[in-house]
Amino acid sequence: MTSTIKVNTVQDVDGNNIINENANTITIGASGDTITIPSGATLANNGTATGFAPIDWQSSIKTTAFTAVSGEGYWVDTTSGGVTVTLPASAAVGDQIILVDFDRTFASNAMTINRNSHKFQGGTENPVYDTSGQTVNIVYSGTTNGWIPISDDDVADEGTVPPVSIDFLVIAGGGAGGGGQFQDQFGGGGGAGGFRTSTQSIAVGTAITVTVGGGGAGAQNATGGDGSNSSISGTGITTITSEGGGGGGNSTQNSGTANDGGSGGGSSSNGSGSNGSGNTPSTSPSQGNDGGSGASGHGAGGGGAGAVGADGTGNTGGAGGAGSASSITGSSVTRAGGGGGAGRSTGGAAGSGGGAAGSGVNGTGSSATVNTGGGGGGGGSHNAPAPVPAGGNGGTGTIILSVPTAQYSGTTTGSPTITTSGSNNILTFTGSGSYTV
């Protein structure tokens, strides 16, 4: 037979309640006491525990963006790219979350915390953790200051966010080829648009204005039209402007002289005219190269971002200068090639990177590839009947941004094409627009 002894209160020798049962509440011990659970005993919770902050560690390793749950701990692995952790939409005082750099890769690919409308240590920015091996232990304090780290190792002020490092490629519109002309006169190739790169640390919230230049227009009996400038600008950043490519020369205008620009146009077969100068205005590193010089029987090639335009020989037009390669998109692509000059027998070859070939007798110059900043090909004529062939159009420019995926805001205008390469988002603008960091 089992007997049960029921008591309301048990006190120690000092008169403190050790067990006190009152109104269905059992108090064990007094304030300041240590309650010892014997070895081998188990403290089981079959009801609801309040006033405790247990952490339920998750067994799955987090390698992509996720939403955290209060009371849980997470291993965050950024080996393959930055990870954004979104905090709960609702929170109560005392809610706790722990985040750990699982493979010590935060310095290479940062962890970003999305506050999800709550403040973070009184701030309204999303903090970024970029120190290898960090452990971030945050507790919700209420609406005034929101989530507060009680441990976050080495990290900057949680009220601010470090600037974002962005790579830029800025290519202007290419110049058009010079138009053909009666009486054995041949147009020069258009110069490529200026080709410039930049890496800048830009404050979060900055709006970057992107302006993409158009290609120059080809015409009959005229010097090729210049390309338009491309640029990036914004408050607190260094403006980068690439100059439009210079138009190719035409024999009846300015004695065949070509125009200056990011890369210069090639002069026409009227040998008294001069070639166009590249890297105008001057930048360092150079944004382009000079066009070639034409002579009887051929126009010269326009300059490219990577090489000068060729002069040409005999009845063969000069080749356009080669463009320059960039791997900003994750693979090497050559852009901003010069246009070839026209020739009595053969037009000059296109410069690699979107430049266009010049024409032969009675031919219209080819147009450059769009969104490469290439130069248009020169137009040619050899006592041809009207209409006189025109020079080819220059290619429109392009602007490309490479932004760390972990810090990518997604706020754009102008509908850029967005791809990924490694741990970066790639924004390719073929028309004007903006990106807000």
Sheet order of strands, 207-211 included: 240-242, 230-233, 207-211, 433-436, 411-413
- Among residues 274, 282, 275, the alpha carbon closest in space to that of 308 is found at 275
> Is the pLDDT reported for residue 345 higher than 60?
yes
Quick check: 158 pLDDT over 50?
no
Residue written as tokens 């304090």? 141
Q: Which residue has the tokens 């944004």?
A: 287
Tally Cβ neighbours within 10 Å of residue 160.
13
For the stretch 265-290, pLDDT in tens is 999 998 888 999 999 999 999 999 99
Where are the domains positioned within the chain?
56-151, 163-437
Q: Supply the pLDDT for residue 21.
A: 52
Q: Degrees (nearest 5) of the Cα angle 265, 268, 270? A: 145
Supply the pLDDT for residue 123: 85
Residue-level pLDDT at 23: 47
pLDDT 10s digits, 111-130: 999 999 999 988 888 998 98
- Tell which residue, 333, 342, 395, has the closest CA to residue 365: 342
CATH of domain 56-151: 2.60.120.640
Residue 40 banded pLDDT, cuts 50, 70, 90: low
Q: By the 8 A CB rule, do 246 and 229 touch? A: no
pLDDT in tens, 56-84: 999 999 999 999 999 999 999 999 999 99
pLDDT for position 12: 55
The answer, as to whether pTM is greater than 0.75, is no
Mean pLDDT for all residues in the chain = 88
Q: Which two tokens stand for residue 325?
A: 């390669």
Euclidean distance between CA atoms 46 and 310, whole angstroms: 87
Q: How confident is the model at residue 253 (pLDDT cuts 50, 70, 90)?
A: confident
State CA 387 to chain mean position distance.
46
Residue 150 pLDDT > 60: yes
pLDDT at 169: 98
